[in-house]
Amino acid sequence: MFTGIITDVGVLRLREQRGDTRFVIDTAYDVARIDIGASIACSGVCLTVVDKGNEAGQNWFAVDASAETLARTNLGDWQQGRRINLERALKIGDELGGHIVSGHVDGIAVIEDIRPEGSSLRYSFQAPAELRGFIAEKGSVALDGASLTVNEVSDARFGVNIIPHTQSETTFGTMKIGDRVNLEVDTLARYVARLKQVEGL
């Protein structure tokens, strides 16, 4: 379980095919304090740490992604040097600064427009049509793992504001039109939709 508050931006050191796809990610995290088997959200995808180490003063950890994960997320696009939003799993007693994020991606959203709005940037995304009912104005979404508030919705298109802090502390400061981002809808919205379906509302 995560909160969508990014605590490090890692860099992909190595992508290696070995049955599943292994990603080795450089990080500022103290890997001595990360257990093998721990969960880390990597641009919004909950992945399991399978190896870790330190080389020439640079901490790194490794995760494996299945073909299913590559097909349903933007991990298939990842190449060496890519910057990755990172978040360690939530601990009991941690501050819940964003919203409840599972790390289970629902689909891919595509950046359609970026424009200045004061000192912020307004990003417009196109979501998959089947997810449009889960995205509501003033509701929450996780985009590449970052908890963000939806400011506007029009069918499957929605907009969010990226404040300067988020631009500097996540990968959003370097994203561009056409980029694909991992989208996780609000867990509450998912369960409300399921309840309505079961009850025939």
Helices (H) and strands (E) in the chain, counts: 3, 12
- The answer as to whether 13 is a domain residue is yes
Q: What confidence tens digit (pLDDT) does each residue in 93-129 have?
A: 777 778 889 999 999 999 999 999 999 999 999 999 9
Pair (59, 122) in one structural domain: no
Pair (183, 123) in one structural domain: yes
DSSP reduced 3-state for 137: coil
Domain of 84 in residue numbering reads as: 8-88
Pair (117, 58) in one structural domain: no
**Domains identified in the chain, total number:** 2
Nearest alpha-carbon partner for 65 in 83, 43, 91: 43
Pair (15, 62) in one structural domain: yes
Pairing of strands 146-154, 140-143: antiparallel
- The answer as to whether 121 is a domain residue is yes
Confidence (pLDDT) at 99: 87
Per-residue pLDDT of the chain in tens (201 residues, 90 and over written 9): 899 999 999 999 999 998 899 999 999 999 999 999 999 999 999 999 999 999 999 999 999 999 999 999 999 999 999 999 999 998 877 777 788 899 999 999 999 999 999 999 999 999 999 999 899 999 999 999 999 999 999 999 999 999 999 999 999 999 999 999 999 998 877 767 767 766 665
Interatomic CA distance for residues 12 and 140, integer angstroms = 28
Pair (112, 193) in one structural domain: yes
Confidence (pLDDT) at 93: 76
- The answer as to whether 146 is a domain residue is yes
Lookup: tokens for 155:
């069918």
Instruction: Look up the CATH number of the domain holding residue 191.
Output: 2.40.30.20
Confidence (pLDDT) at 76: 95
Confidence (pLDDT) at 91: 82
Pair (111, 59) in one structural domain: no
Domain boundary residue among 38, 60, 88? 88
Predicted structure pTM score: 0.92
Amino acid at the residue 166: T
Nearest alpha-carbon partner for 61 in 89, 38, 91, 90: 38
Pair (71, 114) in one structural domain: no
